[in-house]
Structure 1
C-alpha cells in the first residue's frame, strides 16, 4: 500500500471522527437542558395570547388607577369642606420676604444681586454723573404756545385720527416731528407730556413742592383701584434720609384704599410712602395713565438725579442706594432695566400680546408694520443681550440722554399700543442708547417681592 493512499485514508477517517464528535457534543448539550423545548413552547403560547388580548392589557393600568382613586374618595370624610383655588394674584405669601434670590454660575450658587454690606451702604454718597460721551447736552420740552391743537392740522396715523390719545396732555405730534425727534444733536426739542395746563394730570401745590425736594426717588402708581400699596423694606437709615418714596393714586384708588383702612395722614404719608393724589387724568385708558409716572419721572421730579420705578404689583425690598450702586454706578450705566423673561423679539411679543388679548390685532399690526418699515429687524439679541425688556423695574440717572429716551418711549406708547415692551427695543435701536444695563431676570426678582394684581386688570380701552 502506497504512502499516498495511507495519507488519504488517514485524512478521511479523521474528518468523519471530527463530525461525529461535534454531533455528540451537540447531543450531550441538548441533554443538559431537558426543559428548553417546553419553555420555548410556553413562551410562544404567552406571546400568542398577548397578541390576541393586547387591547384588554392596554386598559388594565388605567382601570387599576381608577380603582385606587375611587377608594381614596370613598375614604374622604363627607363633612370635609371642598377646597377652592386661590388666584395667584391674591396671594400674599411673598410679602416682606428679604431672603436673597440666587442662581448657579459655573457650578457655584451666588446671589443674583450683589449688594454692598450694610456698613458700606450707610456711607454711600451720590457720585459724579456717568453721562456718556454723546453730543446731546440739553432737552427742551414742547408746550402749548398758543397754536391750535386740532387733529385736522396734524398728520396722524389712521387708527387715531380724530381720537383722544394725542391730546392736550401729549400735544399733537406729527409723523415728521416723530421722525425728527430721533435725530440726536446738542439740543433736542421733543413732545414729552404736560403739553398744556389744560391737559390734565393735576397735582396739588403741596405735592409739587415736596417733589421738588427729592434728589432720588422710588416711585409707583395705582390708578383705577386695581392694586394695594405695599410698604418698601430692606432699606438703611441713610437711604430713608436721602430717598423719597412717592406713590401716585387717582381718586378711585384713594376711595378703594380708604375702604380697606389705608387712610392718608395729615403729613400726606402712609407708612414710608408719600401719597400724591392725581386728578383729571388725561386718558380713558388707565394703563396709559400709568405710563406718565413710570416714564416721565424727570418731569415730575425736576430736581432729582436718580429714580427707581416699581410696578404697583410688586413690593420693593432692597436698599435704593445699594441698587443704584450695583446697577448704575458699579457698571458705569445711566439706565438699568430687566431682560424679558419669556421672549426676546418684539415681533414675537406682538404675537403674544394679541394671543393674550392685551391689545387688538389691528393695533399691534399697525405698530409692528411701522417698526418693520423703519428698519427694525426681527432679531432676538442686541449688543449681546435680549432685544426685549421687562419694564416692571426701571433704574436710571436723570441725564439728558435718559430723559430723551423716556420722552420718545412715552410718545410711542401714546401713538401706538400701551404695551411698552413693544416700543422699548424700537426706541433703543433708533436712539442707539448708550450706558444701558440690561440685567438678568433673576436680578429683577431679587429687587422685588412679586405680589401680582389684586383685582383683574380691565381690558385695553380703545380711545379712537
Structure 2
C-alpha cells in the first residue's frame, strides 16, 4: 500500500553523501571563480562610459593650462621672466647661502625689505643731523702724536704701527670712559703704519657724503657691478672698491682693466699699498669697519662683502633700514646661531681660526661676564655682518673702532666680537638687527670665487 503522506524519504548511503557534497562544493568554487572576471569587466565598462562622456574635457585641460601659463607671462616684466627661469643652486647654507654665477644681475622683487616706489626714490633727500645721536659729541682718535709709546708686539695680539699697540688697560678704558669727548684707538695710528692710498684717491674720498664700499685683497673675488640704483643715487652716492696690487694684476689678467679715470663701471677703484697685516682677512676689516676714517666727510655708508652683488638703491636702503626706524646702525642677524660660544665652536670646526686663539678670546669674554645667549632688544646679537648700513655719528664711529680693535687683538672672525662690543658699549641703542631674508633682498650672494693669496712681506 502506498502512504498518503506528502513527505518523501530518500535513503542515501555515506558514499553517496560524500559524492553529493563534493559536487556542491565544486559548483560553489566555480561560481566564486567566475565572479572575478565579471567584476573586472564591469569596472572596465564603467571607466569606458566615463571616458566616452568626459573625453572633450580631458583633452581641453592641458591646452587650458598652457594658455593660462602664457597669459600670466604677458603681464610680467622682462626682468621677472628672466628671474623665474634662473635655475637655483641645490646646495645652500643657512647662514649665507652660496649661489652660482647664475644669480648675477638678478633683481628679484623684495620679500622683506620695504623700499619706496621708484618715483619717490628719485626725489629722496639725504637727511643730515644737526646734533649727534647719543651722549658722545666728539670722538678723538689716539695717534703717535699723543705721546703714547709703542709697545712690543704681544703674542695675543696683532697690534702694530697701524693700530698703535693698544694695551689691555687702554682697551678697558675705551669701554668705560664714554663721555661727550671720547678717545679711542682706531687704526691709522702712525703715518708709517701702512694702508697707503694716492693723494688723488684721498681727495675723491673726501668729497663723498654717502658711500657704498667693498674690497678685495689677495685677488680672492671678482668685482660685481651694483644693480637696482635710481638716477638720484648714481649722482649722489660714491661707489668705492679697495684693491691691492695682487687683485689689480689678477683682474687685469681676467680682462677687467681699470680705466684712465680709475673706474670700472660705477666703481671707483682705490689701489691700496703697504697693507699693514700679513692676514688678508684682517686687512679687509679696515675698509669694512673704518669707513668713517677713510671717508671723513661722509654721513652714511653701506658696506658689501666682495662675495656679494649689491642689488638695491642705496638711498632707498638707508631710508628703509635707518631713517624709517630712526636707527644709526643696521646689520643682519646670524642665520644659524645666537650664542657667541656656539659660534666659536663652529669657527673652530670649520677651521676658520685656530682653537688656541679662539680660546684666548672666549676666556677673556667669560672673565668679563659675557652671557651665553646675548640678545639685543629681543633679537639675536650675533650678526652675519656681510652687509653693514650705518650713519656716521660719534657713537657709531666709536662702536666700529672698538669692534675693529677686538678683531685685531683676538681673531678676524668679526661675528665673535660683535655681541661683546654691543654688550659693553651700552650707549649704542638705535640698532636695527634685520632678519636674514632682508639681507638676501639686499644682495646676490655669489660665494668666494678663489682663495685669496696671502700677503708676502
Question: What TM-score, normalized by structure 2, do the two folds share?
Answer: 0.76
Question: Does structure 1 conserve the Cα–Cα contact (< 8 Å) formed by 2:218 and 2:247?
Answer: yes
Per the alignment, in what secondary structure is the counterpart of residue 189 of structure 1? strand
* 2:109 maps to 1:100: yes
* 2:378 maps to 1:384: yes
1:125 corresponds to:
125
Per the alignment, in what secondary structure is the counterpart of residue 159 of structure 1? coil
Residue 129 of structure 1 deviates from its aligned partner by 2.5
Deviations 1:429-463 (A, max 9, x none): 1002211000000000000000110013579x9x9
Rounded Cα–Cα distance in structure 2 between residues aligned with 1:137 and 1:348: 37
Rounded Cα–Cα distance in structure 1 between residues aligned with 2:131 and 2:369: 28
* 2:164 maps to 1:171: yes
Q: Which is worse superposed, 448-457 or 117-126?
A: 448-457
* 2:402 maps to 1:431: no
* 2:282 maps to 1:285: no
* 2:167 maps to 1:159: no
Deviations 1:13-58 (A, max 9, x none): xxxxxxxxxxxxxxxxxxxxx9xxxxxxxxxxxxxxxxxxxxxxxx
Rounded Cα–Cα distance in structure 2 between residues aligned with 1:404 and 1:130: 19
Question: Does structure 2 conserve the Cα–Cα contact (< 8 Å) formed by 1:232 and 1:317?
Answer: yes
1:54 corresponds to:
none
Residue 356 of structure 1 deviates from its aligned partner by 0.5
Per the alignment, in what secondary structure is the counterpart of residue 151 of structure 1? coil
2:301 corresponds to:
307
Question: Does structure 1 conserve the Cα–Cα contact (< 8 Å) formed by 2:132 and 2:393?
Answer: no
Deviations 1:48-103 (A, max 9, x none): xxxxxxxxxxxxxxxxxxxxxxxxxxxxxxxxxxxxx99996821100000124xx
Question: Does structure 2 conserve the Cα–Cα contact (< 8 Å) formed by 1:132 and 1:435?
Answer: no
Rounded Cα–Cα distance in structure 1 between residues aligned with 2:266 and 2:447: 21
Per the alignment, in what secondary structure is the counterpart of residue 241 of structure 1? helix
Deviations 1:253-305 (A, max 9, x none): 00000001111111100000000000000000000000000000000000100
Over aligned residues, Cα RMSD in angstroms? 2.3
Question: Does structure 2 conserve the Cα–Cα contact (< 8 Å) formed by 1:217 and 1:245?
Answer: yes
Question: Does structure 2 conserve the Cα–Cα contact (< 8 Å) formed by 1:313 and 1:453?
Answer: yes
Rounded Cα–Cα distance in structure 2 between residues aligned with 1:456 and 1:205: 31
* 2:134 maps to 1:114: no
Deviations 1:154-184 (A, max 9, x none): 8x5x534xxxx20000001111110000121
Residue 221 of structure 1 deviates from its aligned partner by 0.1
1:62 corresponds to:
none
* 2:141 maps to 1:141: yes
CA 1:374/1:215 → structure 2, altered by over 3 Å: closer, same or farther?
same
Residue 150 of structure 1 deviates from its aligned partner by 4.1
Rounded Cα–Cα distance in structure 1 between residues aligned with 2:90 and 2:386: 24
Question: Does structure 2 conserve the Cα–Cα contact (< 8 Å) formed by 1:130 and 1:332?
Answer: no
Of 388, 408, 416 in structure 2, the residue corresponding to residue 422 of structure 1 is 416
Residue 133 of structure 1 deviates from its aligned partner by 5.3
Of 186, 189, 193 in structure 2, the residue corresponding to residue 192 of structure 1 is 186
Rounded Cα–Cα distance in structure 2 between residues aligned with 1:457 and 1:276: 18
Rounded Cα–Cα distance in structure 1 between residues aligned with 2:187 and 2:205: 18
Question: Does structure 2 conserve the Cα–Cα contact (< 8 Å) formed by 1:338 and 1:444?
Answer: yes
CA 1:228/1:87 → structure 2, altered by over 3 Å: closer, same or farther?
farther
Per the alignment, in what secondary structure is the counterpart of residue 182 of structure 1? helix
1:216-235, aligned counterparts within 5 Å? 216-235=210-229
Rounded Cα–Cα distance in structure 2 between residues aligned with 1:199 and 1:401: 25
Question: Does structure 1 conserve the Cα–Cα contact (< 8 Å) formed by 2:245 and 2:271?
Answer: yes
* 2:242 maps to 1:248: yes
1:442 corresponds to:
437
Question: Does structure 2 conserve the Cα–Cα contact (< 8 Å) formed by 1:130 and 1:334?
Answer: no
Rounded Cα–Cα distance in structure 1 between residues aligned with 2:205 and 2:249: 23
1:45 corresponds to:
none
Rounded Cα–Cα distance in structure 1 between residues aligned with 2:414 and 2:131: 25
Question: Does structure 1 conserve the Cα–Cα contact (< 8 Å) formed by 2:221 and 2:449?
Answer: yes
1:308-347, aligned counterparts within 5 Å? 308-347=302-341
Rounded Cα–Cα distance in structure 2 between residues aligned with 1:86 and 1:251: 35
Rounded Cα–Cα distance in structure 2 between residues aligned with 1:130 and 1:225: 41
CA 1:443/1:131 → structure 2, altered by over 3 Å: closer, same or farther?
farther
Question: What TM-score, normalized by structure 1, do the two folds share?
Answer: 0.75
Rounded Cα–Cα distance in structure 1 between residues aligned with 2:225 and 2:453: 25
Aligned residues: 363
CA 1:457/1:358 → structure 2, altered by over 3 Å: closer, same or farther?
farther
Of 261, 266, 274 in structure 1, the residue corresponding to residue 260 of structure 2 is 266
Residue 151 of structure 1 deviates from its aligned partner by 3.0
Question: Does structure 2 conserve the Cα–Cα contact (< 8 Å) formed by 1:131 and 1:399?
Answer: no
CA 1:148/1:238 → structure 2, altered by over 3 Å: closer, same or farther?
closer
Rounded Cα–Cα distance in structure 1 between residues aligned with 2:90 and 2:434: 32
Please list every run of 5 or more consecutive structure 1 residues that lacks an aligned counterpart in the other structure: 1-33, 35-84, 102-110
